[in-house]
Chains A and B, each alone.
Chain A
């Protein structure tokens, strides 16, 4: 039974008790506790059920490596599953619940899985896929989904705020233990811009618990002195609760800072994701202790030796009154001594080594602790908590030589340096046989952009496990107990039979046992990466921090090869999980994406326009009136525009100015038709193709002066076409004298469209907008109704139409004025859908509807816009390729449905026969389709095989389901074929 000790606890503040609950039961801890220490201090040893077998589980560790003690934390919108109790700080009112059991933690139906372990071997999932096929979907998956897994999923949106920050430094030191402090001091004194980050709330790492002297001071004192100096250096930044999650190329490091977890609901960012550019990274990330593999090593109460002494020393929590220590090294003896110091009992230290003569064993023996040498634990007794251990010979097969009563087992299988950040970008490891661990190979570090070493490992992370060695490498003297060599132990006892290996856990979180890895090896899995995926070893949220080395050692043994020949699995970021909220940061709600607004946006919004996203813009699709359907609104807007006058906010249209002596020559290359011959004051419609000949943009070009053109692009094409122009000018035709500027946002542009458009503009006054001097396809500049205006007489609707460009700052005022002045003329705004129908009635193509990246102008009957006189333009050569000139390319036609219905968008016209894949041949495809209130029926544009030669023919198109809709091939110009209306 665990309990809170009456004295001690260097991290807790007994004056500040904190209340929390576990499964609804009120409990109490202290400020400075983690959830883990508080739970253990409150006597809660069993904290959850395991993933696959539903075995009772408790704390194994005291830090990031904890695999078992995950809880659901909080409720409603702040509910979060799988919170690692060892790294979550206790706060007042914390609500925690254990996971993966039904109906309760103490009685769990799923525990039956533990009895069925022989039927749930490694590769169980893969095997269930095999046969019968239907069994997976209907039998296994539903059952497994219910039974396996950890915490529940939150059901509400996260109400908290997150943010990201960019930081830059010369040296980033990761890990605030003594090695990290020493490294930061060294670099800081040199004047480097240093960041020192520590994932916990405390500086000093393990050393305050493990003890020793540094530079003539007690370790704890040296840490204080070092911190004081670091804090005094203006070039050094210190952060706690900041976990460096990943090291990336170019010195980029991601770190997660915890700000608000202990203050739910506080108006602060909960987490902050730091995006750090570091000249160099020094990893001082320490080492993690390894478990030993003996039967029942997962029973609640079996813990890492280092964790046991952490709980005693840091939080004054006794994991048990009688603690058996089992080890293969000297370090674990520190735990026995710490327990004695705390007044607890150590029935025995079980040491797998034949002899233990080191300094620490000698102290332990001198203090009267029984040391059982050459022994191991055959099995742990107890199910929901440890009641005792059976002791056996380590070299034997597990026959019990004695039984020891105890309520806690402190195990140590040696230590593994935390090499994650070293390894993320390709730092190599070498096998250290003496300590049975992989350590960074300083000859093969991860390299930066200049080929320089980018990461340096120091301290235990570098494989120096003893304080004296760590500080010596940092140039400081230190005193710590000498440790005798450890002995690798991958299975306890060495000759454990199946029955013991079936219960010897390697990966506690994913329930992978020694027997599973051995089975994988027998089934032919040789690569450690394959074995990992087959057995799921190391694939849980702890990413195998405890299981990795033990697992690959067992695999190596089963394969009969040395451990370095097996190698490690790949270390990937993040080191510990980072919250999705921090990845999204500010990008949610209104800031999810930049929303581009025209100067008239607020007017549209106030009229409750139905929006259509166009790129990052929002454009009004239509302006429904009260009780009006969208379709009715669109029809009304079209009819009004054809009969009276409509206003369109065309501000999003791309406007690129192109200027220079070579501007005409440049545009002749970009457009398929001739632009250099355009007269000043006139406008010309043009097409742009890519190098492969495909149509990619269109628009009207206005010649502003002898050497200046204004190119209108589609809304979505503005940035892309500007980039396209600059690409050609900067990379290919760098000696051409042309400058461009993207003026899209400089101007608000309003289309005034309809038979009464001229009347409306005349009411504003100030410019003569009559047929002469401003005929179709010309532009004029002046002051219109007090606005600095440039008026283009261009039409995308077939009506009399003026597009008025004014500086964006005046756009809203002009719009308001047009609405007011036009009231008696019946002026109405119209949206993008009306725009689409108006242009389709007129047979105008739309980039993105009639084009999809595979269509050339010739397909669309736009041969008239392709210059025959020019030597070259972008796409010309491609358009001469055989496939592009193939007469069987589908060509643009108009369609009229026979019964007036509207064809579905993208509908296909089936043809006779089937292709090699058994798919029906097709002979045409609808590219645009609308209800035309002007024509009074469904109209469409389509690309059809030999289409222009088949005028009048009726084709069947696919409707919804198996229905067919008949449509007649007609001229795509449905309205005012001669263009009389736009030319008045």
Chain B
């Protein structure tokens, strides 16, 4: 929809790595028994397999992340979120499940560069250096909750709540300033 804008309108800063807001991104929370057959089938129809604990699976521009024993997060293009939400809701209608579009409750940031890990180390208590590709890490960024994963070569994607997007961008910007490289 033409009226839609992301929290920071793709704000971007160049430091020893580049930090930027990804713009509008679709996100769908799926709460369900993960062994549920209709769920597995609905995901399969999207080309996705169920991620292992703390893992992510990807297919056709979609990312599916394990968030908790009964929660998954489907990341998709923003304009596809209502359709995916509706389709999943319909597929899970006969089971106990909650499918809800949370795209606009979130903001997504990209940290790009060879030293991306160093920015993350300043903000999250997680063991970034040993974070494998294919893991969704739910943790905190300074004073707010955050989740992130290695979304590409020398790229980490960070999800935070929309209301604190400016705070998180501020954290990323100050942490990526040249002269503060760690190693």
Binding site for B on A (CB under 8 A): 161, 163-168, 237, 266-269, 275, 277, 586-587, 590-591, 593-599, 616-617, 657, 659-661, 737, 739-747, 786-788, 807-810, 812-814
Q: Does B60 contact A (CB under 8 A)?
A: no
Task: Tell me whether A809 and B6 are in contact (CB under 8 A).
Answer: yes
> Of A237, A594, A599, A787, which is in contact with the most chain B CB atoms at under 10 Å from its CB?
A594
CA distance A813 to B28 in the complex (A): 23
Q: Which of B22-76 contact A (CB under 8 A)?
A: 24, 29, 31-32, 70
Task: Tell me whether A594 and B174 are in contact (CB under 8 A).
Answer: no
Closest to A746 in B: B105
Task: Tell me whether B102 and A741 are in contact (CB under 8 A).
Answer: yes
Tell me, rounded to whole Å, the shortest Cβ–Cβ distance linking B125 to chain A.
5
- Knowing that A163-B174, A267-B179 touch, tell me 20 more A-B residue pairs with CB under 8 angstroms: A161-B180, A166-B125, A168-B127, A590-B170, A591-B167, A591-B171, A593-B143, A597-B163, A597-B165, A660-B98, A737-B96, A747-B104, A807-B104, A808-B105, A809-B4, A809-B5, A809-B78, A809-B103, A809-B104, A813-B4
Closest to B98 in A: A739
Task: Tell me whether A165 and B163 are in contact (CB under 8 A).
Answer: no
Task: Tell me whether A810 and B177 are in contact (CB under 8 A).
Answer: no
What are 16 sample pairs from A and B whose C-beta atoms fall under 8 A apart?
A163-B174, A164-B122, A166-B124, A266-B179, A587-B142, A594-B142, A596-B161, A596-B163, A740-B98, A741-B102, A743-B100, A745-B162, A745-B163, A747-B104, A807-B101, A809-B78
**Residue numbers in B under 8 Å from A743 (CB-CB):** 100, 102, 105
Task: Tell me whether B97 and A745 are in contact (CB under 8 A).
Answer: no
> Of A161, A167, A808, which is in contact with the most chain B CB atoms at under 10 Å from its CB?
A808
What total of A-B pairs shows CB separation below 8 Å?
137
Tell me, rounded to whole Å, the shortest Cβ–Cβ distance linking A887 to chain B.
45
Task: Tell me whether A268 and B105 are in contact (CB under 8 A).
Answer: no
Of the candidates A586, A597, A617, A808, which one forms a contact with B104 in the assembled complex, judged by CB atoms under 8 Å apart? A808
**Residue numbers in A under 8 Å from B170 (CB-CB):** 590-591
Please provide the 9 A-B residue pairs with the shortest distance between their CB atoms, ordered closest to farther: A813-B3, A808-B104, A739-B98, A809-B4, A596-B163, A745-B105, A268-B179, A746-B105, A739-B31
**Residue numbers in A under 8 Å from B177 (CB-CB):** 161, 267
Of the candidates B6, B7, B162, B166, which one forms a contact with A595 in the assembled complex, judged by CB atoms under 8 Å apart? B166
Closest to A817 in B: B3
CA distance A747 to B130 in the complex (A): 36
Tell me, rounded to whole Å, the shortest Cβ–Cβ distance linking B78 to chain A.
8
Q: Which of B59-117 contact A (CB under 8 A)?
A: 70, 78, 96-98, 100-106
Task: Tell me whether A660 and B24 are in contact (CB under 8 A).
Answer: no
**Residue numbers in B under 8 Å from A788 (CB-CB):** 1
Q: Which of B130-172 contact A (CB under 8 A)?
A: 130, 142-144, 161-167, 170-171
**Residue numbers in A under 8 Å from B70 (CB-CB):** 739
Tell me, rounded to whole Å, the shortest Cβ–Cβ distance linking A905 to chain B.
29
Task: Tell me whether B96 and A163 are in contact (CB under 8 A).
Answer: no
**Residue numbers in A under 8 Å from B5 (CB-CB):** 809, 812-813
Closest to B160 in A: A594
**Residue numbers in B under 8 Å from A167 (CB-CB):** 121
Task: Tell me whether B166 and A810 are in contact (CB under 8 A).
Answer: no
Closest to B167 in A: A594
Given contacts A587-B143, A595-B167, contact A659 B162 (CB under 8 A): no
CA distance A443 to B20 in the complex (A): 53
**Residue numbers in B under 8 Å from A659 (CB-CB):** 98
Task: Tell me whether A586 and B102 are in contact (CB under 8 A).
Answer: no
Task: Tell me whether A657 and B98 are in contact (CB under 8 A).
Answer: yes
**Residue numbers in A under 8 Å from B175 (CB-CB):** 163, 586
CA distance A660 to B100 in the complex (A): 13
Task: Tell me whether B29 and A741 are in contact (CB under 8 A).
Answer: yes
Closest to A707 in B: B96
Closest to A237 in B: B183
CA distance A594 to B142 in the complex (A): 9
Task: Tell me whether B3 and A810 are in contact (CB under 8 A).
Answer: yes
Tell me, rounded to whole Å, the shortest Cβ–Cβ distance linking B143 to chain A.
5
Closest to A744 in B: B105
Closest to B179 in A: A268
CA distance A393 to B100 in the complex (A): 88
Given contacts A168-B129, A590-B170, A591-B167, contact A163 B97 (CB under 8 A): no
**Residue numbers in A under 8 Å from B103 (CB-CB):** 746, 807, 809
Task: Tell me whether A586 and B1 are in contact (CB under 8 A).
Answer: no
**Residue numbers in B under 8 Å from A594 (CB-CB):** 142-144, 164, 167
CA distance A493 to B170 in the complex (A): 63
Of the candidates B6, B128, B129, B164, which one forms a contact with A596 in the assembled complex, judged by CB atoms under 8 Å apart? B164
Task: Tell me whether A165 and B182 are in contact (CB under 8 A).
Answer: yes
> Of A587, A599, A740, which is in contact with the most chain B CB atoms at under 10 Å from its CB?
A599
Task: Tell me whether A786 and B3 are in contact (CB under 8 A).
Answer: yes
CA distance A163 to B3 in the complex (A): 38
CA distance A166 to B175 in the complex (A): 13
Tell me, rounded to whole Å, the shortest Cβ–Cβ distance linking A751 to chain B.
18
**Residue numbers in A under 8 Å from B130 (CB-CB):** 168
CA distance A661 to B121 in the complex (A): 43
CA distance A810 to B179 in the complex (A): 39
CA distance A586 to B130 in the complex (A): 24
**Residue numbers in B under 8 Å from A813 (CB-CB):** 3-5
CA distance A62 to B31 in the complex (A): 62
**Residue numbers in B under 8 Å from A277 (CB-CB):** 125, 127
Of the candidates A164, A597, A657, A786, which one forms a contact with B166 in the assembled complex, judged by CB atoms under 8 Å apart? A597
Tell me, rounded to whole Å, the shortest Cβ–Cβ distance linking B164 to chain A.
5
Task: Tell me whether A746 and B101 are in contact (CB under 8 A).
Answer: yes
Given contacts A166-B121, A596-B164, contact A661 B102 (CB under 8 A): no
Closest to A617 in B: B163
Task: Tell me whether A586 and B163 are in contact (CB under 8 A).
Answer: no
**Residue numbers in A under 8 Å from B105 (CB-CB):** 742-746, 808
**Residue numbers in B under 8 Å from A747 (CB-CB):** 104
CA distance A637 to B165 in the complex (A): 30
Closest to B127 in A: A168
CA distance A167 to B130 in the complex (A): 11
**Residue numbers in A under 8 Å from B164 (CB-CB):** 594-597, 616
Closest to A592 in B: B143
Tell me, rounded to whole Å, the shortest Cβ–Cβ distance linking A805 to chain B.
11
Tell me, rounded to whole Å, the shortest Cβ–Cβ distance linking A648 to chain B.
17
Tell me, rounded to whole Å, the shortest Cβ–Cβ distance linking A663 to chain B.
10
**Residue numbers in B under 8 Å from A599 (CB-CB):** 7, 162
Closest to B163 in A: A596
CA distance A661 to B101 in the complex (A): 20
Task: Tell me whether B3 and A814 are in contact (CB under 8 A).
Answer: yes
Tell me, rounded to whole Å, the shortest Cβ–Cβ distance linking A250 to chain B.
12
**Residue numbers in A under 8 Å from B24 (CB-CB):** 809
**Residue numbers in B under 8 Å from A586 (CB-CB):** 122, 142, 171, 174-175
CA distance A350 to B78 in the complex (A): 83
Tell me, rounded to whole Å, the shortest Cβ–Cβ distance linking A346 to chain B.
47
CA distance A587 to B103 in the complex (A): 28
Tell me, rounded to whole Å, the shortest Cβ–Cβ distance linking A608 to chain B.
19
Task: Tell me whether B162 and A163 are in contact (CB under 8 A).
Answer: no
**Residue numbers in B under 8 Å from A807 (CB-CB):** 4, 101, 103-104
